[in-house]
Amino acid sequence: DLGVSLTPVRGAFNRLISEGLLEHYPGLGVLVPTPSRREIAEIYEFREAVECAAAAKVCECPDPAVLDAMAAAIDLEESMLNEHGPAMVAEMQRRNGEGSECGLLERWRRIDEEFHLAYIRAARNRRMLETVEDLRVRGQMVYERLVETPIESWKHTIEEHRQILDAFRRADAEEARRLIAEYIRLACRELLDAHERQYMERPYGLHSGLHRPEGNGPAGRPSAATERL
Question: Per-residue pLDDT tens for 176-225?
Answer: 999 999 999 998 998 888 878 776 655 444 444 444 444 443 333 333 22
* Arithmetic mean of pLDDT, 52-75: 97
Architecture per CATH, domain 36-203, reads as Up-down Bundle (1.20)
What is the rounded end-to-end Cα distance, in angstroms, of the chain?
Answer: 18
Residue 31 to residue 147: CA distance in whole angstroms: 20
Domain boundaries, the chain: 36-203
Q: Read off the pLDDT of residues 80-139 as tens digits, 9 standing for 90 and up.
A: 999 999 998 888 777 654 544 458 988 998 999 999 999 999 999 999 999 998 888 777
Q: What is the pTM of this model?
A: 0.72
Average pLDDT taken over every residue of the chain? 77
**Rg of the chain, C-alpha, whole Å:** 19
Element (H, E) at 29: strand 29-31
Helix axes 126-146 and 103-122, enclosed angle (nearest 10): 160
Name the residue with higher pLDDT: 165 or 214.
Answer: 165
